[in-house]
């Protein structure tokens, strides 16, 4: 499932994140890449143990927790600490697939990948996130504060930056439901239930549909 969630950060939180991006020191982004990805990764990255990393992680994690669309789509069991990346002219990230396992203080499986855009689209040229799936190529360049989710097994890349500066936060989710097709079914069913509740809150079908949703989740969830 490929899903864009607009304005997942409030304007206040986005302003705080952008202010921190202005003051931090960046290093070589290849330090956290796998062997193959390091050959095509060319960007800058904030140190994982930097104080600013902890502050921005708290802002982002709180925003994710209060966003029902993210919770419904990702069904998160664990959300990793974001990597805060910067791209300037000449930088890019070639075709790659994200590592299946993220190693660190907490080791977890990557089911869902996420890119949170911190720069406005008019602040840089190029730099589109390109995701390849069975429906073809998708070029993504979202407003600042917006998020795109996609399966971690997807082939993807960041096009070269030709002007300006692209600041993003990328992170991974271990889902309670590891199979993307099953997550898609649950997400669509949940969306239909919410739509029906809004249009006909007393409809008797709501109870049976909700029961079906929870019974499927009970069948497929790994805790």
CATH code, domain carrying 38: 2.60.120.620
CA neighbor of 87 nearest in space, from 29, 169, 167, 170: 167
User: Using an 8 Å Cβ cutoff, are 97 and 153 in contact?
Assistant: yes
Q: Tell me the angle at which helices 180-199 and 205-220 cross, rounded to the nearest 10 degrees.
A: 160
CATH number at residue 192: 4.10.860
Question: What pLDDT was estimated at residue 29?
Answer: 83
User: What's the pTM?
Assistant: 0.94
H-assigned helices in 24-125:
51-65, 68-74
For residue range 129-182, list pLDDT tens digits in order: 999 988 899 999 999 999 999 999 999 999 999 999 999 999 999 999 999 999
Question: What pLDDT was estimated at residue 45?
Answer: 96
pLDDT along the chain (223 residues), means of 10: 96 98 91 77 93 97 98 98 97 95 92 98 98 93 98 97 98 98 98 97 96 98 96
Instruction: Residue 206: give the domain boundaries.
Output: 180-220
Q: Are 17 and 126 part of one and the same domain?
A: yes
Q: Are 45 and 60 part of one and the same domain?
A: yes
Q: Are 58 and 144 part of one and the same domain?
A: yes
Question: What pLDDT was estimated at residue 37?
Answer: 72
* 72 vs 201: CA distance, rounded Å: 20
């Amino acid at each position: 499932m490929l899903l864009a969630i607009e304005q997942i950060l409030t304007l206040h939180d986005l302003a705080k994140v952008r202010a921190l991006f202005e003051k931090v020191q960046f290093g070589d982004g290849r330090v956290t890449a796998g062997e193959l990805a390091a050959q095509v990764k060319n960007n800058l990255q904030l140190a994982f143990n930097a104080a600013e990393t902890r502050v921005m992680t708290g802002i982002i994690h709180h925003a994710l927790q209060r966003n029902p669309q993210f919770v419904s789509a990702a069904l998160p069991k664990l959300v990793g600490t974001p990597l805060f990346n910067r791209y300037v002219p000449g930088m890019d990230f070639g075709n790659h697939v994200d590592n299946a396992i993220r190693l660190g203080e907490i080791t977890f499986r990557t089911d869902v990948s996420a890119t949170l855009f911190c720069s406005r689209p008019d602040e840089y040229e190029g730099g589109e996130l390109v995701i390849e799936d069975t429906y073809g190529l998708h070029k993504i360049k979202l407003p600042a504060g917006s998020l795109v989710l996609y399966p971690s097994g997807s082939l993807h890349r960041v096009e070269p930056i030709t002007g300006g500066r692209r600041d993003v936060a990328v992170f991974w989710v271990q889902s309670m439901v590891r199979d993307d097709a099953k997550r898609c079914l649950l997400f669509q069913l949940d969306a239909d239930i919410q739509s029906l509740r809004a249009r006909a809150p007393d409809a008797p079908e709501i109870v049976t549909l909700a029961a079906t949703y929870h019974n499927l989740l009970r069948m497929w969830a790994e805790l």
